[in-house]
């Protein structure tokens, strides 16, 4: 009984591991597994019940393996341990050394399905993915009731195992793209995926990038529409969202939930988001350019009023803008960490006290406060928090260029940003690609 001894020594290091002896049809067997993953009393009841049936059918213990679990013949110790860490129950028959892997009754370790927390839905389905992979797949299945839905399951990692599922629709996905994705995933299964950066690295995306190559979403509705459009969806266990590959620029502006509104509103929302992005990127740069480099562009009344509001401000416009922008970024960053109960206080402190005080102390001009407030709000009109971050970053490039070259720097900065976006691609699919399902013609 090498295996049993091995498990017993392991139990000394691993308090979570249980070894429970029980009698099943005259045979003494040992059950092994992790208490944190398995509901032992329920599982034992299940086993007893199964064996009652076996006795009634007059079947030997070994034959039951075919019906209940998987035999681990000549199983080595690592295979048994990895089966246990995946949440299975191991049954060891002491006399014959027979070893069986059984799916037990699991403990309930995940929350129930809740409303999304980072993507709000006003009109439409509000169930969101939760951390548990199987629940997520179940939710997707209820949204996509199609026989074309295909799934591949993978286990990533050697030290920290993590399950992943790749979903796509048969016949809808571009075959070259699908092939590239699956080949890449299959060749990197030995990597640990503790976070999304590691996933990016495993998928071969560059580390230094402003645009994430996959879109994350909490909403099953978005996954269903992405699958229908021929995209590939990746789920990781313990991540409460789906990753949609490839990520495209239009995903910043277009959301499936828009289609729950009349067409006119749909177009208006999308235009509004585009305006939001432009405002967010351009406004701080434009302010700096107009105030410090090209004041002649402004209408004279406006130029005077800006000049008047900046009369006592001691620094150049770029420092003034950076000062306030960094403060706003700090508030944003802090408000993510804060408990929900303190959020409103911070809004008040940040918005009213800080804003008012900073103007009265003549640290920044009134107009800058207006511009930066609009900018910050506008950056969140885009869909997805990850997209909002990339937008937030790119305005600093435009800001610096405008501080040096004025309006010229601003516009050249736009071209640089456009060029950068144009150079991004995911498995050969450019970021600016206008995605269509495969049965439609490629545009």
- Tell me if 173 sits within 8 A of 232, measured CB to CB: yes
Output DSSP code: residue 353: I
29 phi/psi in degrees, rounded to 5 = -125, 160
Shortest Cβ 407–another protein spacing (Å): 6
What angle do helix axes 133-143 and 220-228 make, rounded to 10 degrees? 60
Only one of the segments 15-23, 109-117, 169-177, 404-412 lies at the binding site for another protein (rule: CB under 8 A); that segment is 404-412
- Length of the chain, in residues: 443
Contact between 409 and another protein (CB under 8 A)?
Answer: yes
Sign of torsion over alpha carbons 65, 67, 69, 73: positive
Only one of the segments 150-158, 290-298, 321-329, 341-349 lies at the binding site for another protein (rule: CB under 8 A); that segment is 290-298
Hey, what are 221's tokens?
Answer: 């509705």
- Tell me if 396 sits within 8 A of 372, measured CB to CB: no
Helix (H/G/I), strand (E/B), else coil: 106:
strand
Binding residue for another protein (CB under 8 A) from 296, 312, 333, 439? 296
Shortest Cβ 393–another protein spacing (Å): 17
- Tell me if 215 sits within 8 A of 243, measured CB to CB: yes
Nearest residue (CB) to another protein, 243 versus 277: 277
Hey, what are 397's tokens?
Answer: 């490039």
Hey, what are 314's tokens?
Answer: 């001691």
Contact between 294 and another protein (CB under 8 A)?
Answer: yes
Binding residue for another protein (CB under 8 A) from 123, 299, 337, 340? 299
Contact between 73 and another protein (CB under 8 A)?
Answer: no
Shortest Cβ 276–another protein spacing (Å): 15
Other beta carbons within 10 Å of 340: 7
Only one of the segments 32-40, 223-231, 332-340, 402-410 lies at the binding site for another protein (rule: CB under 8 A); that segment is 402-410
Shortest Cβ 313–another protein spacing (Å): 21
Contact between 206 and another protein (CB under 8 A)?
Answer: no
Only one of the segments 3-11, 209-217, 299-307, 333-341 lies at the binding site for another protein (rule: CB under 8 A); that segment is 299-307
Hey, what are 332's tokens?
Answer: 């944003």
Contact between 306 and another protein (CB under 8 A)?
Answer: no
Burial profile 343-382: b = 16 or more Cβ within 10 angstroms, e = fewer: eeeeeeebeeebbeebbeeebbbebbbebbeebbebbebb
Shortest Cβ 408–another protein spacing (Å): 5
CA-closest candidate to residue 151, choices 173, 120, 126: 173
Contact between 400 and another protein (CB under 8 A)?
Answer: no
Binding residue for another protein (CB under 8 A) from 171, 422, 436, 440? 422
48 phi/psi in degrees, rounded to 5 = -55, -45
Residue 342 to residue 286: CA distance in whole angstroms: 34
Binding residue for another protein (CB under 8 A) from 19, 75, 323, 421? 421
Residue that has been written with the tokens 């930066």 in this structure: 372
Only one of the segments 44-52, 116-124, 291-299, 371-379 lies at the binding site for another protein (rule: CB under 8 A); that segment is 291-299
Only one of the segments 161-169, 358-366, 385-393, 416-424 lies at the binding site for another protein (rule: CB under 8 A); that segment is 416-424
337 phi/psi in degrees, rounded to 5 = -75, -25
Contact between 380 and another protein (CB under 8 A)?
Answer: no
Contact between 279 and another protein (CB under 8 A)?
Answer: no
Residue that has been written with the tokens 């729950």 in this structure: 260
Contact between 110 and another protein (CB under 8 A)?
Answer: no
* Binding to another protein in span 214-273, by CB under 8 A: none
Binding residue for another protein (CB under 8 A) from 71, 432, 437, 438? 432
CA-closest candidate to residue 239, choices 184, 187, 197, 189: 197
Contact between 442 and another protein (CB under 8 A)?
Answer: yes
Nearest residue (CB) to another protein, 234 versus 282: 282
Nearest residue (CB) to another protein, 343 versus 428: 428
Site size for another protein (CB under 8 A): 30
Q: With 0-12 CB in 10 A as exposed, 13-18 as middle and 19+ as buried, what is 301?
A: exposed
Shortest Cβ 432–another protein spacing (Å): 5
Nearest residue (CB) to another protein, 197 versus 297: 297
Hey, what are 175's tokens?
Answer: 């075959």
Binding residues vs another protein (CB under 8 A): 293-294, 296-300, 302-303, 404-412, 414-416, 418-423, 430, 432, 442
């Amino acid at each position: 009984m090498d295996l049993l001894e091995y498990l017993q020594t392991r139990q000394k290091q691993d308090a979570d591991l249980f070894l429970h002896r029980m009698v099943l049809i005259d045979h003494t067997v040992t059950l092994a597994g992790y208490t944190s993953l398995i509901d032992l009393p329920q599982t034992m009841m299940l086993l007893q019940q199964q064996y009652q049936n076996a006795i009634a059918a007059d079947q030997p213990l070994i034959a039951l393996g075919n019906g209940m679990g998987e035999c681990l013949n000549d199983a080595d110790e690592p295979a048994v341990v990895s089966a246990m860490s995946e949440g299975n129950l191991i049954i060891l028959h002491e006399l014959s050394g027979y070893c069986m892997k059984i799916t037990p009754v699991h403990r309930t370790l995940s929350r129930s399905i809740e409303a999304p927390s980072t993507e709000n839905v006003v009109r439409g389905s509000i169930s969101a993915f939760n951390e548990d992979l199987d629940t997520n797949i179940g939710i997707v299945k209820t949204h996509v009731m199609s026989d074309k839905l295909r799934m591949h399951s993978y286990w990533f990692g050697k030290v920290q195992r993590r399950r992943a599922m790749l979903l796509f629709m048969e016949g809808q996905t571009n075959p070259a793209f699908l092939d590239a994705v699956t080949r890449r995933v299959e060749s990197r299964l030995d990597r640990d995926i503790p976070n999304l950066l590691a996933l990016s690295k495993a998928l071969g995306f560059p580390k230094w990038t402003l645009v994430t190559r996959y879109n994350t979403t909490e909403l099953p509705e978005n996954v269903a529409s992405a699958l229908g459009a021929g995209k590939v969806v990746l789920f990781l266990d313990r991540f409460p969202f789906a990753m949609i590959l490839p990520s495209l620029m239009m995903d910043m502006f277009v959301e499936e939930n828009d289609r729950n509104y009349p067409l006119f509103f749909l177009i208006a929302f999308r235009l509004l988001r585009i305006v939001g992005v432009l405002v967010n990127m351009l406004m701080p740069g434009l302010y700096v350019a107009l105030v410090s480099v090209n004041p002649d562009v402004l209408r004279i009344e406006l130029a005077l009023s800006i000049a008047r509001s900046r009369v006592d401000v001691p620094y150049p416009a770029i420092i003034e803008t950076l000062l306030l922008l960094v403060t706003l970024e700090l508030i944003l960053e802090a408000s993510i960490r804060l408990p929900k109960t303190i959020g409103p206080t911070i809004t008040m402190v940040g918005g009213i006290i800080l804003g008012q005080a900073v103007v009265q102390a003549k640290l920044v001009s009134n107009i800058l406060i207006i511009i930066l407030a609009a900018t910050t709000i506008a950056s969140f009109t885009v869909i997805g928090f990850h997209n909002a971050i990339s937008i937030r970053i790119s305005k600093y490039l435009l800001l610096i260029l405008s501080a040096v070259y004025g309006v010229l720097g601003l516009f050249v900065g736009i071209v640089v940003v456009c060029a950068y976006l144009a150079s991004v691609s995911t498995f050969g699919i450019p970021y600016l690609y206008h995605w269509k399902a495969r049965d439609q013609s490629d545009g």
